Amino acid sequence: MTASATIPTPRGVASRRRRRTALVRTLVRHSLIIGGLVMLIYPLIWMFLSSFRPSKEIISSTQLWPGDSFTTENYTNGWQGVGAESFSTFFLNSFVIAGLCVVGNVIACSAAAYAFAKLEFPGKRILFAIMIGTLMLPYHVQLIPQYILFSELGWVNTFLPLVVPKFLATDAFFVFLMVQFIRGLPNELMESARLDGCGHLRTFLQILVPLSLPALGTTAVFTFIWSWNDFLTPLIYLTEPDKYTVPIGLRLFLDSTGESSYGGLFAMSVLSLIPLLGFFLAFQRTLVRGIATTGLK
Amino acid sequence: MTEVRTDRTLSREGQAPSRPGAPAGEVRGPKWTKMAKRDALAAYGFLGPWILGLLAITAFPILASLYLSFTNYSAGGTPDWIGLGNYQRMLEDPRFWKSLQVTATYVLVSVPVLLGFALLLAVALNTGLRLMPLYRSAYYLPSLLGGSVALAVLWRRLFAQEGLVNDVLGWIGVVGPAWLSDPALALIPLMVLNVTTFGAPMVIFLAALRQVPQELYDAAAVDGAGAPRKFWSITLPQISPVVLFNAVITLIGAFQAFTSAYIVSGGTGGPVDSTLFYTLYLYQTGFNYFDFGYASALAWVLLVIIAAVTASTFIGSRRFVFYGGDSR
């Protein structure tokens, strides 16, 4: 092919032309894909750059580059929040809650998944079917009685309603994800561990957990992102600003300053996305694999 | 790595256990029975947290909300049995009907468009481009951020009277409307925001596309089929289980959308209830008016609607979903 292309025989011309149309087609395809991407991502870039401009300008102009009016005031002012609580509190709360949710989901969901995937017990079929059924249950059906339950327990305005359910493996998605993964692990390893006198707990901790790290990683990353973004649950349960998470802090900021302080609002919004972007950059492959296997968002 | 869960694998998992669960006493010796007993005990130990969660945090609230839906119950009071009272009240509640209409519009418009974009991009990315993984990740990014308060804040600005969207419309000579204060238009920005999260189903489509056997395309090419023909006759039937799966997941998600409407409308669902999502109305009923009985009835209606829509999607899909080949 390459040799014939250098000699201008009729066949060489044809193949060169064919190659040129292929090149054009590839270029068109790339530019369409990149064009779509720019449209999709542009608003985010605009928000990022606008967060370095005075509030008045954010409202009155849509230009991209801050130019002369570049300022970092939005970040310093916005960080103060409104009222007594600053965004330090909100970020700290968000990190604590998200961290506890990750720990809870990883422990509780992997334990349940181990039982479903590798152990035999009466009632397994029906319990598994119930677990699959809860996958499709809208959260809102549980909302009111859960609120009544948690307020009877005195848990309103604490982190417990956000965190305790994770330690009870109520996110069936992750149980399912890990069942799928653990089923694929060879039984022989576990059986030989049993023959060597390993109890179930040791088999689980020393054989299963190290082998399941990819699935545990997916669970951890998605749990973090979901609880970081969660709005409805903290909106209901966290009533005092000192307990607010970042999304609720942003809402408070929006409600109390409105259009007057878009700079601070944009700056804090950008900061609220940074942990997500960090996770995205660090764990892209885990995320993509996680979605491809289970259909998580 | 590119394993795809379809609804079929889902239902297959439902009947998963390979061996009978209970110990078969007379075949195995007493030692085995003892071991099986220990196994079962250990299994329940591992399942303990999940079972507790299922009972206390999932099952009990669902049944309790069914009971409460037949009562008149405000926060702090006691539930009064009123039979079907809440459901009758719904029939005459204009905000209930409005919220149904808003949610139905949101779901019926944004879900098909979202799935269309997801499929289009997946097909475009599945052409052996070397930069595919990079593009895939970049397109996925908005899905990750789309549910956040920050994006809803951004959307308020984008669709403001002097926002970016109207700027772009201005280039082509269109005078942009007041998106967020016009009741006829206010839902559109929220639908656009939902559509930008097509990245997650796109990734799933992409994984499915890569499993379509190349021989089918080769055979079609020999028969002289063009690209559109290949798409309709090979690609679409081959990935139809995944189309169904994505449709169900996206539908369920869209029915439960909340954050964007809350932030963009400032919690009101306005202007004139034009963005009053069903979930938002439920939230207002429960946590602004503390009308727990009525809110529970609303929740149960949502459950029934989602179950009905999901079931009819499955039933309606029988005609076009193709389960074949032993590769999946």
ipTM higher than the 0.90 cut: no
Find the closest chain A residue to B166 by CA distance. Answer: A62
Among residues B307, B308, B295, B305, the alpha carbon closest in space to that of B87 is found at: B295
Q: Do A280 and B141 touch (CB under 8 A)?
A: yes
Q: Do B13 and A37 touch (CB under 8 A)?
A: no
Q: Do B282 and A143 touch (CB under 8 A)?
A: yes
Other C-beta atoms closer than 10 Å to the C-beta of B320 total 11
Q: How many domains does chain A have?
A: 2
Same domain, A9 and A130: no
Same domain, A40 and A85: no
User: Cα separation of A56 and B160, whole Å?
Assistant: 14
Q: Do A141 and B53 touch (CB under 8 A)?
A: no
SS3 A82: strand
Residue A69 in any domain: the answer is no
DSSP string for A106-136: HHHHHHHHHHHHH---TTHHHHHHHHHHHHT
CB-CB: which of A121, A137, A280 is closest to B40? A121
pTM of the model: 0.87
Q: Do A141 and B303 touch (CB under 8 A)?
A: yes
CB-CB: which of A43, A179, A200 is closest to B164? A43
Residue A61 in any domain: the answer is no
Tokens of A238: 């966290």
Q: How far is CA A144 from CA A140, A165, B143, in A?
A: 8, 15, 28
Our CA-based measurement puts residue A76 at a distance from the nearest CA of chain B, in whole angstroms, of: 18
C-alpha of A83 from chain center = 30
How do the domains of chain B map onto residue ranges?
23-59, 87-317
Please write down the long-range contacts of A256-260, taking CB distance under 8 Å and 24 or more positions apart: A256/A82, A256/A83, A257/A82, A259/A59, A260/A55
Chain B CB contacts of A278 below 8 Å: none
Chain B CB contacts of A222 below 8 Å: none
Residues in chain B, total: 328
Our CA-based measurement puts residue A124 at a distance from the nearest CA of chain B, in whole angstroms, of: 7
Q: Do A280 and B10 touch (CB under 8 A)?
A: no
Tokens of A270: 């950008």
* Dihedral-angle region of residue A240 (phi above 0 means left; psi in -120 to 50 means alpha; beta otherwise): beta
Q: In sequence order, which ranges of chain B are alpha helices (DSSP H)?
A: 7-14, 30-53, 60-68, 85-91, 94-125, 132-145, 149-158, 164-171, 187-195, 199-209, 214-222, 227-230, 236-255, 259-264, 278-283, 292-317
Same domain, A289 and A150: yes
Q: Do A140 and B256 touch (CB under 8 A)?
A: yes
Q: Tell me, what CATH number does A132's domain have?
A: 1.10.3720.10
Same domain, A150 and A32: no
Same domain, A96 and A39: no
Residue A66 in any domain: the answer is no
CB-CB: which of A61, A112, A276 is closest to B47? A112
Same domain, A141 and A225: yes
Residue A65 in any domain: the answer is no
CB-CB: which of A112, A124, A273 is closest to B150? A273
Q: Do A292 and B141 touch (CB under 8 A)?
A: no
The answer to whether residues A159 and A100 touch, using CB atoms and an 8 Å cutoff, is yes
- Rounded to the nearest 10 degrees, the angle between the axes of helix A87-118 and helix A172-183 is 40
pLDDT, one tens digit per residue, over A226-251 is 999 999 999 999 999 999 999 999 99
Chain B CB contacts of A115 below 8 Å: 42-44, 46-47
Size of interface A-B (CB pairs under 8 A): 291
The pLDDT profile of chain B, 328 residues, written as one tens digit per residue, is 333 444 333 333 334 444 444 444 444 445 567 778 888 889 999 999 999 999 999 999 999 999 999 999 998 788 999 999 999 999 999 999 999 999 999 999 999 999 999 999 999 898 877 888 889 999 999 999 988 999 999 999 999 988 899 999 999 999 989 999 999 999 999 999 999 999 999 999 998 998 889 999 999 999 988 888 999 999 999 998 889 989 988 999 999 999 999 999 988 998 999 999 999 999 999 999 999 999 999 999 999 999 999 888 888 888 778 776 444 3
Same domain, A43 and A178: no
Same domain, A105 and A229: yes
DSSP code for B109: H
CB-CB: which of B21, B47, B65 is closest to A125? B21
Chain A CB contacts of B143 below 8 Å: 297
Torsions phi, psi for B71 (to 5 deg): -125, 160
Please report, as a single letter, which amino acid is at residue A220: A
Q: Do B150 and A146 touch (CB under 8 A)?
A: no
Our CA-based measurement puts residue B187 at a distance from the nearest CA of chain A, in whole angstroms, of: 19
Same domain, A93 and A216: yes
Find the closest chain B residue to A232 by CA distance. Answer: B259
Residue A221 in any domain: the answer is yes
What domain range includes position A31? 1-47
The answer to whether residues A82 and A90 touch, using CB atoms and an 8 Å cutoff, is no
User: Computed over its alpha carbons, how large is the radius of gyration of chain B?
Assistant: 25
Q: Do A142 and B57 touch (CB under 8 A)?
A: yes
Same domain, A191 and A98: yes
Other C-beta atoms closer than 10 Å to the C-beta of B205 total 28
Please write down the long-range contacts of B175-179, taking CB distance under 8 Å and 24 or more positions apart: none
Contacts of A289 by beta carbon, 8 Å cutoff, 6+ apart? A214, A218, B1
Among residues A247, A240, A84, A100, the alpha carbon closest in space to that of A158 is found at: A240
Does domain B87-317 sit in CATH 3.40.50.720?
A: no
